[in-house]
Structure formats: C-alpha cells, structure tokens
Structure 1
Amino acid sequence: MTSIRRRSFAVTALALACGALPLAAAAQAAWPSKSITLVVPFSAGGPTDVVARVLGAAMTKTLGQPIVIENKTGAGGTIAAAYTARATPDGYTFLIHHNGMATAPALYRKLAYKPLNDFEYVTQVVDVPMTLVGRKDLPAKDFKELQAYLKAQGNKVNLAHAGLGAVSHLCGMLLRQATGVEMTTVPFQGTAPAMNALVAGQVDLLCDQTTSTTPFIKAGSIKLYGVTTPTRIKALPEAPTLDEQGLKGFQVVVWHGIYAPKGTPKEAIDRFGAAVRTALQDPAVATRLAELGAQPASEDKLSPEGLRQWLAQETQRYDPVIKAAAQFAD
C-alpha cells in the first residue's frame, strides 16, 4: 500500500469513527423507541388499574410511544413487584404500586425482592382516600347504627377485601381492630370482583379506594358509611369521616408510586417521571382523578428521592401497625 493510499485510508477511518459518535449518541437519545410496559399488580378495573390507565393515556401523547398496561395479579402485589425487579433494566418496564410496597415486608415472611433496595424510584403519583361501604340493603343507615349492628352480628358479618396485602385488606384489619369485632373476611382476586360481590349483595362490607367506590356510591348501588381521611373530601363532600363519627384516629390513605428495575438508565427514569408530572397537570386528567377522589402527590414526593424517603417512612409506620393487628389477619 502506498503512503498516499495509507493516508487516505486513515482519514476515511477517522471520519467514520467520528461520524459514529453522534450516531451512538442519537441512538441513546432515542428513548423511548418502542412501547413501554407499566405493570399493575392488581386486576383490570381496580383502583390502581384505573389510575394507571388514566395516566398512561396522557403519557402516550407526551412520550410518543404507547404505554401498555400489564396486569400481573396475585399475592397482594408481590408477584408484580418481583416480576419488575427481575425485568431487564432497559427503561421499558415500570411498576405502579400502592402502600403494598411498604406493607409487604411485614405481611410476608419471604419476599423475592427488597422494596428499599431492588428498585429505582421514579415518582409518587396520587393520594387516594378510602371509604367504608356496605351492600345496598344493609339495615344500618349510618356508621353509628353500623357499629351496633356489627356488635350484634359479630362474625356473621362478611367483610370483603381484594386479597392478602391489598390496602383493602389492611383497612379491614384496622377496622376490626378499632371496632373490636372479628368479622368474617372474604378475600377476592382484586377490587373489581370484590366490588361486584358487594353490589350483588353477596358480602356485607368493603373498605376500598374512592377510585373504585365513588361511581357505585353516586349511582346508589352501595351504601356509604364514611371516609378514612382526617377531613371530608371534595369528591364526596356530604360523607362524614369515620373519625368524626367516633372512630378516633382511624386514617387510611392510599398512595401510589412508580418504580423501575434496579439499573434502569437515569434518562428513562427522568423522562418517565417528567411525563407522569405532565399528565397530572393535564386538565382532563386532573378532572378525571378529582371525580374519583384522587389528588396529585405533594411536590416533595414527586422526585425519585422523595418517593424513596416516603417508602422508607411508610415501611417503618406500617410495621408495628400490622403486627398489632396480626390477631385479626387472615
């Protein structure tokens, strides 16, 4: 090879190498280049699923790729969480989960993941009040009458929940502890089937999120006995709190956070989190969530670090609560 040809070859190689750098950078900046899976630990139609689908539709417009909802149910959300923890950390798998991320360590002796170690934190999403509701033909007209009814009927009363580890399960445990009545619990595979059973009059009571119960309450299909927040809520302004009706200190609020497999690229986490926050500011999304009683999380919880700190705080909070209610757990 002549010196001229060698110089020409070297120049060409250098040009190709330099040209490859912007191409590689462009490839990295192309996220997302395909659909993104948002794993939901509970059944379709349930409260977490509703939040995920409302957000997902708006986020699709922001990110330019479909947000595919994948329902992986069972074991109080631990199956979905374990699945996400094991997923390839490429920025195309995320998990939306509620308080169950904080309660799982106390509820389950063996977990296939560690909530505080095996995930990247993205953002908190919304806070959702809970409601105590009953079948339409339950004799008690208000919570005072319900308390008397519970004491008279005892374990003849059927209390539904959406499965071990679901927030409705936790709320039910706390209700039984607070009232001192050991009702018969009836587990279902998700909120939707539990609600269907309540509407059909097959069970007596259910404690679940406003995102699921509000439409049925407003339709008159079920009876509302109170909300679980310290103050009344905008979605159901006439509904008294359980606290003001004598169940002092009774408070259960559901919060939802978004997580990714450990090692997920920071760019994907940041952009996905930003898309969530943009969706929460969308007037149509805000209106829909407000109708269901859900409120966007406070600003300090919308960062990855804010979610991490909140999860750690809630894990410490729920551990003694669950242990104290263990005699009612099933």
Structure 2
Amino acid sequence: MKSIVTKLAAGLVAVSALTGIALAQEYPSQPVTIVVPFAAGGPTDTVTRLVAAAMSEDLGQQVVVQNVGGAGGTLGAGQVAAAANDGYTLLLHHIGMSTAPALYASLPFDPVTDFAPIGLVTEVPMTVVARKDLEPADIGALITFIKENGENITYGNAGIGAASQLCGLLLQDALEVKMTEVPYQGTGPAMTDLLGGQIDMMCDQTTNTTSQIQAGEIKAYAVTTPERVAILPDLPTLAESGVPDFNLSVWHGLYAPAGTDPAIIERLTASLQAALADESVANSFAELGTAPVAADQATPEALAAQLESQIGLWGEVISAAGVSAQ
C-alpha cells in the first residue's frame, strides 16, 4: 500500500510539474495589463511605460499600462490584489507599498500576503526643487530660508503616502521646521503648479524633474541620495549640505496577485530581467537620473526582502511624524 501511495504522490507531482510547464509555454496568450496606482505623467508611470514596452517585445504580447490613481496608491493596488491570479493583471508600485500599512488604519489588501512579488525594477533618487524665481540661490541659502519662513512656504506633494510627501516629512523633521503642505492628486498636477509658480517647493523623483531642471523651468537645490546623480552632477547631496545622514531613494517593484502560478511568475521575472537589460531602457533610465537594478535584484526574493524591511523602517518614521491618512 505504501508503495502505491508513494507512486500516486510522485505521479501527482509529475502532473503538476508538466501542467506548470505547459502553462508557462502557453502564457501569455493575450495582452497583459500593468496597473500604475497613480496619475498618468508621474514618475512611476514613466518608469512603467518604459518597462512595459520592453516586456511587450519579450513576451510577444502587448503590455498595457492602466492608471488607477487615488487614495495614495491604495485604490489601484487593491484592484490588482482582487484581480484574477492568471498573470494578466500586474501592479507596478513604488515605496508606497511599504508605507501604506502605517498610513492607513484599514487597507483593502495586505502588501505581503495579497501579492506575489516578481522583482525590483529601479531605485530613483529624489531632488529638492522650487519654482524658478524662489529667492535662495543654493541649498545652504534654501535651508536658512526654510528655517526663517516655515509655514509661509508652500510645499507641494502628490498626496498622503506619496514619495514626495515622505521626502518632505523627512526634510522638515531634519530641519525641525513645518512648512504648509499642499497635497495633489498625483505628482503631475503638483509639477504643473510648481512650473506655474503657484507653490514654492516640492521634492520629487529625478524621473519627473530632470528635464525641467535641465530646461531651467524649475530651480534645483540638492539630491536626496548619499552620492551625486550622474545626469545632474552639479547638484550637491543633502548630506553634504548640512543635513547629515539624509538618504532617500524611491524603489519600484512589479507584483502579481497572490496565488499566481509559479511558472507564470518565473516567466514574468525573466521578461522583467530582459527588459531591464535592454540597452534602450537603460539609456532612457539614465536620461531620467536612474538605472535598472541588477539582475539578481529583479527577482521575487529580492523584492520580498525589500518590502519586508521597508515596512518596518517606514512604520517607525511615519509613527514618529504622527502622519496618517485617516
């Protein structure tokens, strides 16, 4: 009897493996949608569209980008968490996946258990920028200006939980000052008002600021990473400008709904790695002040580890700042 049971179990394993192989060979047989949980034109949208175009070539099916903004990115993420786990609805989200548990008392999803990680995509530096006619000439003068004017300064961001808001929180905490925050429904509208002079400052990803900085349409003061950014070599880091230990980059990851077949996840991971190794993607990323992650980071394991560690980190920061979305 034991021998029969053993043979049956082995047969089931073999059938399961063959089914997974067949599924991977058939997938994808229709277009794949990547949901971006923010408005079109923002930095996460820009990154996603570059990756989606390259993945389309690798998968042999169109990869469509769908913007589902609202509620600090939780609306779009919740939509993907509830989607069929067949590999045709994915999520490309940023650092907000790790901040949401601390910001929202009730979420329509669990970032860890309701998603199957596919891989990290990129880590984007941020820039401290202002309307082009703001008085301070450099970062030292800006720090003094912020300390002297505090709440008279309007600071735009993409809403609660957005990377632009988190950067502002860290900066205000480091300088021990409060500015007047002006939240928007996405970074795109915030940038529009900054360009128009309706707000004074913001902190945003290089993917959304580099072209405006280079065109002289906004004034740039510093980057938020420990090292200077190659595309913006004249911008000092905050750490070298009197704000010690300031280090913030915005990581992005690709996810599928939990329960997606491992063979499909493996195929998507391979496609993501192929997209990030594409020379045109790397060149486009470089023009935006960032770079694709290494292949060993574009994996489910690396993304899962990043998400877990960042949930703990941002939980402490957000709790100390007393910020919540509800």
Tell me, yes or no, whether TM beats 0.5: yes
- In 2, Cα distance between the equivalents of 1:115 and 1:25? 28
Identity of aligned residues (%): 48
Match of 1:157 in 2: 153
Gaps of 5+ in 2: 1-17
> Following superposition of structure 1 onto structure 2, how do residues 81-160 of structure 1 map, counting pairs within 5 Å?
81-160=77-156
Tell me which amino acid in the other structure corresponds to 2:193.
A
Match of 1:268 among 255, 264, 267: 264
- Deviations 1:35-81, CA, capped at 9 Å, x for gaps: 00000011111000000001111111111111110100011111111
- Deviations 1:110-136, CA, capped at 9 Å, x for gaps: 111111111101000001000000000
Match of 1:183 in 2: 179
- In 1, Cα distance between the equivalents of 2:21 and 2:309? 39
- In 2, Cα distance between the equivalents of 1:124 and 1:72? 21
Match of 2:30 among 34, 47, 54: 34
Give the count of matched residue pairs.
309
- Deviations 1:185-223, CA, capped at 9 Å, x for gaps: 000111111111101000000101000000000000000
Report the TM-score when normalising by structure 1.
0.90
Tell me which amino acid in the other structure corresponds to 1:309.
A
Q: Any conservation in 2 of the 1:40–1:97 contact (CA below 8 Å)? A: yes
Match of 1:76 among 72, 75, 100: 72
Tell me which amino acid in the other structure corresponds to 2:226.
P
Report the TM-score when normalising by structure 2.
0.91
- In 2, Cα distance between the equivalents of 1:131 and 1:33? 41
Offset of residue 329 of structure 1: 8.7
Offset of residue 231 of structure 1: 1.0
Q: Any conservation in 2 of the 1:173–1:329 contact (CA below 8 Å)? A: no
- In 2, Cα distance between the equivalents of 1:32 and 1:304? 19
- In 2, Cα distance between the equivalents of 1:327 and 1:283? 41
Quick check: 1:202 aligned with 2:198?
A: yes
Match of 1:323 in 2: 319
Q: Any conservation in 2 of the 1:128–1:255 contact (CA below 8 Å)? A: yes
- In 2, Cα distance between the equivalents of 1:172 and 1:109? 22
Match of 1:258 among 254, 261, 269: 254
- Deviations 1:226-262, CA, capped at 9 Å, x for gaps: 0000011111111100110001111110000011111
- Deviations 1:264-314, CA, capped at 9 Å, x for gaps: 112221111111111111111100001101122244422111111111011
Q: Any conservation in 2 of the 1:301–1:310 contact (CA below 8 Å)? A: no
Q: Alpha carbons of 1:60 and 1:87: their partners in 2 closer, same or farther (altered >3 Å)?
A: same
- In 1, Cα distance between the equivalents of 2:300 and 2:214? 36
- In 2, Cα distance between the equivalents of 1:270 and 1:197? 42
- In 2, Cα distance between the equivalents of 1:197 and 1:277? 36
Gaps of 5+ in 1: 1-21
Match of 1:5 in 2: none
Offset of residue 24 of structure 1: 11
Match of 1:248 among 220, 244, 251: 244
Name the larger-Rg structure. 1
Q: Alpha carbons of 1:204 and 1:329: their partners in 2 closer, same or farther (altered >3 Å)?
A: farther
Match of 1:14 in 2: none
Match of 2:304 in 1: 308
- In 1, Cα distance between the equivalents of 2:247 and 2:37? 23
Tell me which amino acid in the other structure corresponds to 1:164.
I
- In 2, Cα distance between the equivalents of 1:247 and 1:156? 21
Match of 2:54 in 1: 58
> Following superposition of structure 1 onto structure 2, how do residues 293-304 of structure 1 map, counting pairs within 5 Å?
293-304=289-300
Quick check: 1:173 aligned with 2:169?
A: yes
Q: Any conservation in 2 of the 1:161–1:187 contact (CA below 8 Å)? A: yes
